A and B are shown apart, each in its own frame.
Chain A
């Protein structure tokens, strides 16, 4: 990696460079660990393919193993994999027989759409509810919000998904229940947008409920903490309007822990997306990874894990950078 001349590197670039270095080390560890973990699991893709078609033919299976390079030693396989990754070549998926990067490119946008809208709406709704509860602490709106949050927190996402399907698709027939779009009709760009939104509403809601609960509770606690600090009392004493105090003085500080949580949760969100994608037949990457593990499709799973690690690491770096914007007292070292 290129390094700036020492004298000219500011604190920020030094920080970013160090973080990038750390991220690279984490990536290498992730790749090696995942490779061995995947191979620790008994059985390989040849077993799966032969098992799926109930093939009872040893030559057929030997042929498969040779084609996939599974007849070579583990270290040779790891070496080859690492060498290809360095050239950004993820190889061919064993199960689909097309380049891994092509499959991921087809499926990643769906997951990104689901994740960003779910986490975005959870963040907005959760913070609002949290603030509202804190402002009315101990009174009925607080009780209602807290009970709701507890309910959301305790409901598994897939269960919420099935409940939504039963209500809005089976009984009311308002929303389509599976897939991301109606692909076999011709769309204008507007009708396509509406179609995708209709398909998105339920999976997004199901995925975000848990996070709504977390942000609500976090924001509520964090607002309550800030509420009694000296500078808030000062602001009140100055005679500022309550809404302005809440937004400018309390919320801005209360957001910090919520923000930290947001960065940490991108990884867990990817995990949660697997269940939601399965329930709603959403054509995303979580489901792809899950199926890949069960098919022992090593190149595909490694490719997905590699890119997900890159995604999670970049988001956490981005959040740290945004931190300084939010709270100028925090500096990078």
Chain B
């Protein structure tokens, strides 16, 4: 099970999870599960759009080839078994027989080949690079799909669950523009729930798929997604019993503990391994002063990560030493340099670097930007500004909206420090490499290497882990990689964030897979009121 250093308060939530597992009642059929959507999706095809609000709906309608449980063990989904050749150049999937699309047409290996080569392999911004390693998909018969690789891709199995590699119906999508296809608004999948209707601006309704391939499942009659854009209203809706679930930390973090302590509400951080996110201070590595590693190390000493975790993230996470989330066990960090909070040390390092305080007590001036989502990042910006002032660095916090922020960081590159976070996705080769690999400095493209960090050793290691088939060797490579990143500090890691779900206790089995709320929910059931 995913190991956490849970804070004491969270402990209660964990206990209640174990309690619900231990009680192990027989699932009951029926009932409606209601989930609050903070943002309305624009369409429902997760093969081409991996935003949270698309994934959580599409994950119930579609299926992937495989699933991962909470121990990161592979489980069958559309594929019942799979085999990777020793050199990693051939992956064979045996597909489930007798599966039908929601429109009654049979599911075959042609759907798999189409989805890999023409859907998520083309248009999925997150995993497209991984599937670019697939040269072709052979379909010797209707129930066998064989990936023929140009070169091995270590992260490919991790990219296969429904949330990122959604298998689409070829008979609907082939020879059409996948992104314009009307089925994106009325999806047809193989998953446990069928699409019923979408009332734009208010709700999306799914109902049980009676022909679902896991016999007797799903248990729920219906899932209703309700669009509630206001954070306070979402919390109130959960409290009033109007919705059963708020996912992906979209209640106010300051309010989450109170809600989680209510007798009928459970708070859990399970089910987000595949969306592991680390927040950090990004540093413009081309800045004349910040370009020096000793200056970046000085700034790291000036920031109390425990303070950030406790007061800005309300304890949801662990202090981070590297940009790789500690939940990704395949890439666990070894011993890395530590920067324990120490203002005197920070000042000493800056003096040594030649940036002494001027007559007015100021060493140099900086701008601080932040990603405009939630209120955590603006608070981080305020906090860092305050800390920097204490060591003689004058900083100004700038406020922009999301498109403006993207332009500033990745296109005009007119910034110094930036409060941000990126998802590590299910593997650092997918989610982390992009931000530090020097060949990925692509002006104009968000979430590429925006710090313009260049390090030949880091480049080489990222290229090695991307193809390494031996898990032990790969782990060692990740360890050396993180040692360099923690020494050079292209970003100052702050917190490995634990995303949380708030859910009514009547809902059972909701966080049993690695992609948690984004999975199909065929096992979820609702306990009748006592």
Contacts and interface: CB of A to CB of B under 8 A. Distances in A.
Residue in B125, B129, B180, B408 with the greatest tally of chain A CB atoms within 10 Å: B125
Interface in A150-192: 158, 162, 165-166, 169-170, 173, 176-181, 183-184
Interface in B190-238: 196-197, 199-203, 205, 222, 224, 226-230, 232-233, 236-237
Contacts of A95: 42
B459 to A, nearest CB: 16
A280 B230 CA distance: 8
Contacts of B445: 50, 55-58, 61
Given A162-B236, A183-B203, A52 B51 contact: yes
Contacts of A162: 232-233, 236
Contact of B233 (A53, A165, A173, A296): A165
Nearest to B443: A58
B434 interface: yes
Given A42-B408, A43-B406, A170-B239, A279 B233 contact: yes
Contacts of B240: 169-170, 173, 177
B32 interface: yes
A56 B440 contact: yes
A170 B406 contact: no
Contact of A287 (B201, B236, B407, B434): B201
Given A170-B236, A178-B237, A56 B404 contact: no
A103 interface: yes
B402 A294 contact: yes
B341 interface: no
Contact of A54 (B184, B203, B447): B447
A283 B43 CA distance: 17
A177 B228 CA distance: 10
A76 interface: no
Interface in A96-133: 96-98, 103, 106-107, 110
A231 interface: no
Interface string B348-383: 000000000000000000000000000000000000
Contacts of A58: 442, 444-445, 448
Contacts of B125: 50, 53-57, 60
B250 interface: no
A47 interface: yes
Contacts of B205: 183-184
A44 interface: yes
A221 interface: no
Given A51-B446, A184-B205, A281 B229 contact: yes
B229 A169 contact: no
Interface string A254-296: 0000000000000000000000001111111001100100101
B17 interface: no
B63 interface: no
A166 B431 CA distance: 40
Contacts of B407: 42-43, 47
A51 B128 contact: no
Given A52-B51, A97-B179, A288-B201, A41 B242 contact: no
Contacts of B128: 55, 57, 60
B82 interface: no
B123 interface: yes
A48 interface: yes
A288 B200 CA distance: 10
B179 A43 contact: no
Contacts of A98: 185
A184 B403 contact: no
Interface in A134-162: 158, 162
B129 A57 contact: yes
Given A279-B233, A281-B230, A56 B406 contact: no
A183 B199 contact: yes
A283 B126 contact: no
Contacts of B236: 162, 165-166, 169-170, 177
A53 B51 contact: yes
B262 to A, nearest CB: 11
Contact of B446 (A47, A170, A173, A288): A47
Contacts of A44: 403
B103 interface: no
Contacts, number: 174
Contacts of B123: 60
B423 A54 contact: yes
Nearest to B241: A173
A177 B242 contact: yes
Contacts of A184: 32, 196, 203, 205, 222, 224
Contact of B201 (A165, A166, A169, A284): A284
B447 A178 contact: no
Contacts of B404: 41-43
B401 A294 contact: yes
A42 B233 contact: no
Contacts of B422: 54
B126 A54 contact: yes
Contacts of B80: none
B455 interface: no
A265 to B, nearest CB: 24
A169 B184 contact: no
Contacts of B232: 162, 279
Given A281-B228, A288-B201, A51 B447 contact: yes
A178 B403 contact: no
A110 B230 CA distance: 18
Contacts of A52: 49, 51
A96 B184 CA distance: 10
A179 B83 CA distance: 48
B402 A179 contact: no
A41 B402 CA distance: 11
Contact of B202 (A45, A179, A296): A179
Given A165-B233, A170-B240, A97 B184 contact: yes
B511 interface: no
B50 interface: yes
A173 B236 CA distance: 11
A110 B201 contact: yes
A284 to B, nearest CB: 7
Q: Closest 9 A-B residue pairs measured CB to CB?
A: A55-B125, A43-B403, A283-B201, A42-B404, A283-B202, A56-B434, A42-B407, A47-B406, A281-B228
14 contacts: A47-B407, A48-B402, A55-B126, A56-B447, A58-B445, A106-B200, A162-B233, A165-B236, A169-B237, A169-B240, A178-B237, A184-B203, A281-B228, A287-B201
Interface of A: 41-45, 47-58, 60-61, 67, 95-98, 103, 106-107, 110, 158, 162, 165-166, 169-170, 173, 176-181, 183-184, 278-284, 287-288, 291, 294, 296
Given A50-B446, A97-B185, A281-B229, 13 more contacts: A51-B447, A53-B124, A54-B447, A56-B125, A57-B128, A103-B200, A106-B201, A170-B239, A177-B236, A184-B32, A281-B230, A291-B40, A291-B229
